[in-house]
Amino acid sequence: MDEIKGIFKSWHNEVDTKLVFNFTLNAPSAEEFNRLRAETGWGSAPVDTVNNSLNNSLFFVCVFHETRLIATGRVIGDGGLFFYIQDVIVAKAYQGNGLGHFIMQAIEMYLTQQVTQGTTVGLFCAQGKEGFYKKYQYLVRDGSELGFGMCKVY
């Protein structure tokens, strides 16, 4: 937590310090989460479904401007062999200020403490965002090294 506080303080010093930002490693409310998803074009889901999803996450990092959720990211998985980075979201008005990097640095710190040899960490990213995740050594699954990825969305 102290390392994440240090990264947050460093990020906060680089942005407009007249604004009040806070972070937490707790899950947001389902309503806050749905609002942020909807604002960024990701849509929303039934509150019960969101609550279940949030409650089963392994790790969460959220950034608030005053009391409004403006950025989040989480880790899901089995806590052993497989971890997935999920829902790295930054509100459009706050994009381009390094918040996504702060979220990923916090997630990477968590993962560094959790993973062991043979662990797989995966993620799905929005089209065109691959370069952002490559900065953290994530590979595009083009079939050459890890096989192709697949998913089914309901």
In a domain, 65, yes or no: yes
pLDDT of 14 strictly over 80: no
Structural domain harbouring 117? 2-134
The reply to whether the predicted model has a pTM over 0.85 is: yes
In a domain, 140, yes or no: no
In a domain, 72, yes or no: yes
Q: Which residue type, as a one-letter code, is found at position 123? A: L
In a domain, 43, yes or no: yes
pLDDT of residue 95: 92
In a domain, 145, yes or no: no
Mean pLDDT of 4-31: 79
27-55 pLDDT, tens per residue?
Answer: 999 999 999 999 999 999 999 999 999 99
Q: How many domains does the chain have?
A: 1
The Cα–Cα gap between 78 and 100 comes to 24
Contacts 24+ apart (CB under 8 A), 51-55: 54/27, 54/28, 54/30, 55/27
Give the domain CATH number at 106.
Answer: 3.40.630.30
In a domain, 18, yes or no: yes
Contacts 24+ apart (CB under 8 A), 35-41: 35/69, 36/69, 36/70, 36/71, 36/72, 36/89, 36/91, 37/87, 37/89, 39/91, 39/92, 40/89, 40/90, 40/91, 40/92
In a domain, 144, yes or no: no
140-151 pLDDT, tens per residue?
Answer: 877 777 677 776
Q: Identify which has the larger pLDDT, 114 or 139.
A: 114
